[in-house]
Amino acid sequence: MRREWLQALQRWQHCEEVQLYGALQEVLAVAVCDWAGLPLDPGERGVRTRELVSLFDDAARGVGGHLRARLRRHQAEAWARRHIEAVRVGARRPAEDTVLARIARHPDADGRELPPAIAAVELLNVLRPVVAVSVYLVFVAHALQGRADWAERLRDGAQGKEALHFVQEVRRHYPFFPLLAGRTRAGARWRGAAIPAGMRVILDVYGTNHSRRDWVEPDVFLPERWGAFALQTPSAFVPQGGGPAATGHRCPGEDVALQLMLLSLDMFLLRMRYEPGERRPPLDFSRLPALPEGGLVIRRPGAMLRSPQVLRV
């Protein structure tokens, strides 16, 4: 991602303004496709980015958005499937440790290769959410704009763990998925309430991350809360699902998302210079995923001239 971001910066520096969301989507799409073993030709970068974005950004946007999402999902699956099949017939030879090679060769429970349609969806299950991290990266930039003191502190060589506190607070404070829905497979009890089998249940993700029961001043963006804070109840912090990832459906990509967010701090603070847009837009909660109203714009971006210190945890 760093390499693609630095290359994109060469193009952005000719622009007066850059809309971060779209710009970072392409950076992430190009980076993850390259890493996964399906490098994109310059001519197909736009179309593949649009398809991957549509898988998480169009579906909840009215009938038109929904139909567009279905069409693009179909196109994305066909594209992924072509790659799986090309690996299997030897027409493509990605490195053995790439996601593409692993999924193409992964056996199902009976030891046979996964059906191409299933393998294609599994491949997209890695590519799509990495591009979705663009939402969090916009939130990181939005949060930096709101907390100039923290931007300064991190830029001036604050400890890596403070960078981690900042991005954890972004994941707690900002909305992404408002809720998760499921159906109980067996009868269950939760805090004294009986839940019969087959019942629709909803986990209020945003509400849990903002509950007054577990968080002091939950609606305020306070990275400093993570300094003294030991997460007593892991179920209080569920931006990417609850329970253990190894045995349940909690997101297995939490660490990937975290690392990309940390890297974005390094890019925003130490490797590029830019001016924030004229105003810091409020969040549009009626959108899914929620984003700053009208998008987040940066102005006069360019590469940082001094040699940066690398922000790492």
Q: Footprint of ligand HEM on this chain (CB under 6 A)? A: 125-126, 129-130, 132-133, 135-136, 176-177, 180, 239-241, 249-253, 256-257
Provide, for the chain, the percentages of residues in helix, strand and coil under a 3-state DSSP scheme, each rounded to the nearest 5. 50, 10, 35
Beta carbon nearer to ligand HEM, 241 or 281: 241
Cis amide linkage into residue 234, ω under 30° from 0? no
Beta carbon nearer to ligand HEM, 128 or 271: 128
Query: CB 245 → ligand HEM: shortest distance, Å?
Result: 7
Distance of CA 58 to the CA centre of its chain: 15
Beta carbon nearer to ligand HEM, 118 or 304: 118
Beta carbon nearer to ligand HEM, 104 or 138: 138
What CA–CA distance (Å, rounded) separates 305 from 170?
Answer: 28
Query: CB 237 → ligand HEM: shortest distance, Å?
Result: 13
Cβ of 257: how many Cβ atoms within 10 Å?
A: 22
Q: For residue 166, give the H/E element and its range.
A: helix 160-173
Phi-psi region of 222 (alpha: psi -120 to 50; beta: other; left: phi over 0): beta
Query: CB 249 → ligand HEM: shortest distance, Å?
Result: 4
Beta carbon nearer to ligand HEM, 130 or 270: 130
**What sections of 243-305 are H helices per DSSP?**
254-266
Query: CB 235 → ligand HEM: shortest distance, Å?
Result: 12
Beta carbon nearer to ligand HEM, 40 or 261: 261
Per the structure block, which two tokens stand in for 100? 């593409």
Cβ of 249: how many Cβ atoms within 10 Å?
A: 12
Beta carbon nearer to ligand HEM, 145 or 208: 208
For the four alpha carbons of 219, 20, 16 and 14, in that order, the dihedral sign comes to: positive
Query: CB 221 → ligand HEM: shortest distance, Å?
Result: 17
Short-list 176, 313, 259, CA closest to 2: 259
The residue of the chain with the least Cβ separation from ligand HEM equals 253
Query: CB 284 → ligand HEM: shortest distance, Å?
Result: 17
Query: CB 170 → ligand HEM: shortest distance, Å?
Result: 11
What CA–CA distance (Å, rounded) separates 69 from 77?
Answer: 12
What CA–CA distance (Å, rounded) separates 290 from 285?
Answer: 5
